[in-house]
Amino acid sequence: MHKVQSTAVVRWMADRDLAVCGALNRISRPPKVKKFFVIVSWLGDGKVWYLLMVALPLLYGDKGIATSWAMVQVGFLNFALYRMIKRVTGRARPCAVSTEITLGTAPLDQYSFPSGHTMHAVAFSLVVTAHHPEFAGALMAFSSLIASSRIILGLHYPTDVVAGGLIGGYVASVWLTP
């Protein structure tokens, strides 16, 4: 009896996850909106983070080098976790589950859980703002746009994005803890 109840709860949660994903995905139907979120997602593929890793040492010297090195280390750890979790969970992307969800851009890999873009955005933002708080507003706004873009473009469920943010935040906080 207990297993049936927990299965029903999981199904109910999955249905809500898909419904929210579908509602947010409809935002991308106008071409200009879709293009905006495709660009945000593309920038979140690493371009902004790599640029920041190069710019910080130029702007802040040794302190910037230390921040960039921490970003590299957190990035490698996040990538390893991301690959392992995706392999274990094997969750299909929402666009593969529902014909009502349109794919806004090509996915980087097959599986949806967790959102690697969000993991990295949150982790890198936390690392940078821990050392350079003047970046907090811009990086938090950019990270929020990246996370939103992944759902709006039909690549991730909301729970993928939340999990990615939590994992990225945890990794960064452990790395930043002396």
Model confidence pTM above 0.85: yes
Mean per-residue pLDDT, 34-57: 96
* Residue 88 neighbours by CB under 8 Å, 6+ apart: none
pLDDT tens by residue, 123-175: 999 999 999 999 999 999 999 999 999 999 999 999 999 999 999 999 999 98
Angle at which helices 62-89 and 158-176 pack, to 10 degrees?
Answer: 140
Q: Give the per-residue pLDDT at 175.
A: 85
Q: How far apart are CA 43 and CA 153, in angstroms?
A: 14
Q: How far apart are CA 35 and CA 41, in angstroms?
A: 10
Instruction: Find, among 156, 143, 2, the residue nearest to 89 by Cα.
Output: 156
Domains of the chain: 2-176 (1.10.606.20)
Q: Record the tokens describing residue 150, joined without a space.
A: 């992944």
